[in-house]
Amino acid sequence: MNSVSPSAAQYVGGVMQDELVESRRQQPPERQNSFGLRLPQTPDTSREATREPDEMDRLKAKMMSAWNNVKYGWTVKSKTSFNKISPVTILGHSYLLNSEDEVERFRLAFVSRIWLTYRRDFPQLEGSTWTTDCGWGCMLRSGQMLLAQGLLVHLMPRDWAWPDAQQLTDVDFEVFRPRSPARAGGVPIPSFGSPRGSNTPEKSLSSSQASRCGQKKWPESVKDRQAEPIHHKLVTWFGDQPLAPFGVHQLVEIGKGSGKKAGDWYGPCIVAHILRKAVAKTSVVQNLAVYVAQDCTVYREDVVRLCDLSLSQTVPDPSSQAWKSVIILVPVRLGGEALNPSYIECVKNILKLDCCIGIIGGKPKHSLYFIGFQDEQLLYLDPHYCQPMIDVTQVNFSLESFHCSSPKKMPFNRMDPSCTIGFYAKNKKDFESLCSAVSMALSSSKEKYPVFTFVEGQSQDYGLEGHSSNHSGPAAHILPPGKLGRSNNRSNSDEFVFL
């Protein structure tokens, strides 16, 4: 198959060209420049852009919302099967499901991830008729989950688990003892379950057994319980209200700068930049920055300049921390039309790292948030479930709909090659460790070209104008390695370089 070097995929102003091409198709040519921003408009065009939605727009939006609410508002319960002889990896932690205690540890780790899905009946998005993101906002939701995981490791105790996860007893997965290592089928190991969890009596526990198993209490950590107010506050930041700093309303508003609007489909690269801007815009999160890699390259000095507060202070404040924590987002493309199998081992090794906070991608126009794997299947959280809006301004609102009890798996070969990988480093030492550990994971790829690279220096040292964390200059066409500094007069239709 044809392969695509991730570092050869061209970016324009920090946004992948394939996403910009799609954006340009959706907008009149006269309203675009090469950076994807709107050019000054004539009075007539400006009035057209700012007009209120007419009755036809409202009717169309209502019909689409109604259809999507039906389509995504219900789900068929099905159990996902895990085998007991292969470890399951979730964001740097492995679980061998050969005992009830290990199964419970895995369950707590999965349920504790923050799950953000489609919502309906929230306040109308400004400049549109949309009161739901159902049917179009899955990549925004996946991006929210990626950011939420970064905030969890930033704010919560290490290895935090949601103490109230015990209340979600209807957990839809089974653990199997495979008949052979090559086939993950066979006899189920009923470590726990629920009365509604299985369709076949011979493969399930009785109701009384399931109830006893579901009621098993894992020892509760005092630190986990004390951290619950922070957990609650963190979820409010993703609420579906205009003032929530990481809610859909704010993300859509920020996305307008990239030519996107409510109802459009968002790609993983554009969402990475939206998340960066959202964190930079708010004051609710202290001592945290987001860096988005350019041309599949993390420029180490750019990260240092973003995080080292002593470089930006004329007189260093002794009371302030010298280094900001950082979330590093790396948009990549792992193949041409389909995932290049040579990168699968590399993706596995990345998900094994403590510093990894997940991957947003999925299938074409069907975004998912990947958090782990078992054997040749990815483990993910799915935003494609439409739930009623939760008013997070209410005291003690329920957190249950923000946590998922149904692990789902998908074969690696169905993964879309376009994705964004996330990492987190708490301090400078962690950043150095991250660079070393991730570089080692990247070297495991069988492909000649790495998924992405770390280099010394700043982006402008390589002929780029500004780095991705504060880029505001004209677009830079990033060429394949070895061609930096040469003429960049390339056709905009060259979305990728096939090798």
Positions marked active-site: 138, 382, 384
* Nearest-angstrom CA–CA distance, 469 and 303: 9
- Apex CA 142: angle with CA 63 and CA 151, to 5°? 135
Q: Which long-range contacts (CB under 8 A, 24 or more apart) does 484-490 make?
A: 490/10
Q: Which of 383, 150, 399 is nearest to 275 (CA)?
A: 150
Q: Note whether 104 and 111 are within 8 A (CB).
A: no
- 56 CB contacts (<8 Å, ≥6 apart)? none
Amino acid at 249: H
Cα–Cα distance list, 63 to 69, 133, 438 (Å): 10, 13, 46
Work out whether strand 377-381 and strand 366-374 pair parallel, antiparallel, or are unpaired: antiparallel
- 353 CB contacts (<8 Å, ≥6 apart)? 92, 423, 437, 438, 441
Neighbours of 98 (CB within 10 A): 16
Partnered with residue 95 across adjacent β-strands are 88
* Nearest-angstrom CA–CA distance, 285 and 327: 12
* Nearest-angstrom CA–CA distance, 338 and 406: 27
Cα–Cα distance list, 472 to 36, 302, 383, 475 (Å): 12, 15, 32, 9
